[in-house]
């Protein structure tokens, strides 16, 4: 795992460097631990509140710990019409969490997303950004079993 200070420093002089740094941290740590946001504020010479504002503005950034597997249900219209609600309910039931939550063992996080460009295969989920198409509610236990 990369040192977060190195990741922040590597982006310091780039345009949009703060967001790039947050991306790099999240890729390594799966979320933005509090100390990384404080350190980014210091390196970029902005207030902690401003850095925290950026960290919480974008839905793809998270300041809360997230699971090893981040499952996102596409909620855009074509997937919605194709039964996204039913898939979400099936995941919630199977994982015993609600959308936006992480399982207590830190294995799974359930989130929503906008269209991921796979509309030919609605409904679509992504697991750690890899899309899976034509998902049916009854497949979900098997899909989760593959996430070891
Ligand atoms: S609407 Fe779901 S992938 Fe495009």
Tell me, what DSSP letter sits at residue 45? T
Q: Which residues contact 127 (CB under 8 A, 6 or more apart)?
A: 69, 70, 71, 72, 143, 147
Question: In a mutational test of the pocket of ligand 1, which residue from 119, 123, 134, 135 has the highest number of ligand atoms less than 8 Å from its CB?
Answer: 119
73 C-beta closer than 6 A to ligand 1: no
- Strand 130-132's sheet: what is its strand order? 108-113, 69-74, 125-127, 130-132
Residue 115 CA, closest ligand 1 atom number: 4
Enumerate residues 6+ apart whose C-beta is below 8 A from 29: 1, 4, 36
Residue 124 Cβ inside 6 Å of ligand 1? The answer reads yes
Tell me the mean pLDDT in the region 31-56.
Answer: 96
Inter-residue contact 67 to 31 (CB < 8 Å): no
In this prediction the pTM is 0.79
- pLDDT tens for residues 79-120? 999 999 999 999 999 999 999 999 999 999 999 999 999 999
**Is the minimum distance from the CB of 135 to ligand 1 under 6 angstroms?**
no
Residues 57-79: pLDDT tens digits? 987 899 988 999 999 999 999 99
> In angstroms, what is the span from residue 131 Cα to ligand 1's centroid?
10
pLDDT at 139: 96
Quote the crossing angle between the two packed helices 34-44 and 48-57, to the nearest 10°: 120
Query: Is pLDDT above 80 for 1?
Result: no
Q: In whole angstroms, give the CA distance from residue 122 to residue 33.
A: 34
Separation between Cα atoms, residue 12 and residue 109, nearest integer Å: 30
Predicted local distance difference test score (pLDDT) of residue 148: 78
């Amino acid at each position: 795992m990369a040192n977060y200070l190195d990741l922040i420093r590597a982006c310091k002089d780039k345009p949009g460097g703060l967001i790039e740094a947050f991306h790099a941290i999240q890729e390594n740590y799966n979320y933005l631990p509090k100390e990384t946001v404080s350190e980014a504020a210091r390196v970029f010479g902005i207030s902690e509140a401003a850095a925290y504002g950026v960290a919480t503005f974008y839905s793809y950034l998270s300041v809360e710990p997230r699971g090893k597997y981040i499952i996102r249900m596409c909620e855009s219209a074509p997937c919605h019409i194709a039964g996204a609600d039913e898939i979400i309910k099936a995941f919630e039931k199977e994982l015993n969490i609600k959308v936006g939550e992480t399982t207590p063992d830190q294995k799974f996080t359930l989130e929503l997303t906008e269209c991921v460009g796979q509309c030919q295969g609605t409904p679509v989920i992504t697991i750690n950004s890899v899309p899976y198409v034509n998902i049916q509610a009854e497949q979900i236990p098997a899909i989760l079993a593959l996430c070891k």
